[in-house]
Amino acid sequence: MAEDKIFTTGLLIKEKVFGNGGSIIKLSLCLNDSEKGEGFASFVNKHKSNGWLNINVQKSKGGKWYGCLDTFKPNGQSQPPPQQQQQPQQQAQGQQGFYVPPQTQQIPAQPDINGTLEQKASHEAELDGDIPF
């Protein structure tokens, strides 16, 4: 027996069709509860699971768009991928509080057939002095 659909509240879905055959689907969210009904934020808080909410956007036989809650739960046949063990890393923060990634190993530069990179760098530095501006 199929479960009854749980329709989203506070979600308005419209399709805009262009003359060239293309289209765009616009979603409008009413986050706050109002006299018209429950807002989308309340719907999310009521139905979220582990911080996630899956919504199916569908088109009715009459051509109107609607959203309904995806209540699918796996039956246990498939197992989630094993969690990779992460080593605790201390996040360094720069002056402005931005995340600074940890130092990584640098790959040594490979010389090419025209000489080493150091030779090229010194040659380019010599050429910079010749620029008139």
Which residues, other chains included, contact 70 with Cβ-Cβ below 8 Å and sequence gap of 6+?
A: 54, 55, 56
Alpha helices of 30-106 — where are they, by DSSP H?
Answer: 40-47
- Higher confidence at residue 94 or residue 131? 131
Q: Which residues pair with 112 in a beta bridge?
A: 115
Question: If you search the block for the tokens 């010194």, which residue do you land on?
Answer: 122
Q: Is the pTM of this model over 0.85?
A: no
Task: Taking residues 79-101, report their average pLDDT.
Answer: 53
Query: pLDDT at residue 76 above 70?
Result: no
Residue entry with tokens 């039956």: 75
Q: What's the pLDDT at 25?
A: 93
Who has greater pLDDT, 77 or 10? 10
Kindly state the DSSP code that residue 52 receives in the 8-state scheme. Answer: B
Tokens encoding 38: 């429950």
Instruction: Return the top range by mean pLDDT from 16-20, 71-75, 86-90, 95-99.
Output: 16-20
DSSP per-residue string spanning 73-109:
---SSSPPPPPPPPPP-PPEE-TTS-EEPPP-PPPPP
Q: Quick one: pLDDT band at residue 104, thresholds 50, 70, 90?
A: low
Amino acid at 23: S
Q: What are the tens digits of pLDDT across the range 50-67?
A: 888 899 999 999 999 999
**pLDDT (tens digit per residue) in 111-127:** 556 555 555 555 555 55
**Signed CA dihedral, 65, 71, 75, 81: sign only:** positive
